[in-house]
Amino acid sequence: MKSNRGFTLIEILVVIVVIALLVSITALNTDGDPRADTLILNAQKIKFYLEEATDEAILNNQSIAIYFTKFSASPYSWQKITVNNNQNSSIQSPEKEENWQWTDYQSRKIQPIEFKNDSEIKLFINESESPLSFQKKDSETIKPQLIIQTSGIQSIIRLDLSLNDYDKSITLSGNGAGRFKLGAINDSL
């Protein structure tokens, strides 16, 4: 009797499948740039923050405004501030002046967020670039760039995010109805 030594078809197929799996796992792990992942994570963080602010404005029936700086985004609400103008103590009924101004928005869900120092953000409101300051202003002089109405309606915005040491950028755009869309990573503008 002659004995044939060799591999069966099943054994060869199993080896091919194992090699294919190893090659695909290796390709997935070596294909990405960690800076691209950082850029996507920063954009997703801002996207979810803005969508949460929109949802909270609708649910609480209160307009919320977002003030952007180069390194942060902070929520504000439009509040009536009552000021006593009692200059003369002999007057029995003090005069009260009512003013409206943006005040810090108090919420467990919507807190100010900080951007990483290596991030660069350009903000466009209705296709016009809005200059961003380096620091937060006080509530009396604040003029938020994005105002979210109680219905969820807001300005059409676009945020272009990039990293200082990376030549790619990502765009986050708002449609004016409270939902935001991340674009693909592309060459910096």
Tens digits of per-residue pLDDT, 112-167? Answer: 888 876 788 899 998 889 888 877 666 567 788 988 998 989 989 999 999 888 88
pLDDT at 30: 56
Tens digits of per-residue pLDDT, 154-179? Answer: 989 999 999 888 888 999 999 888 88
Q: What is the pTM of this model?
A: 0.72
Contacts of 42 (CB under 8 A, 6+ apart): 115, 116, 119, 161
Judge whether residue 5 has pLDDT over 60. Answer: yes
H helix intervals, the chain: 9-31, 34-60
Q: What percent of the chain has pLDDT over 90?
A: 28
- What does the mean pLDDT of the chain come to? 83
pLDDT at 152: 87
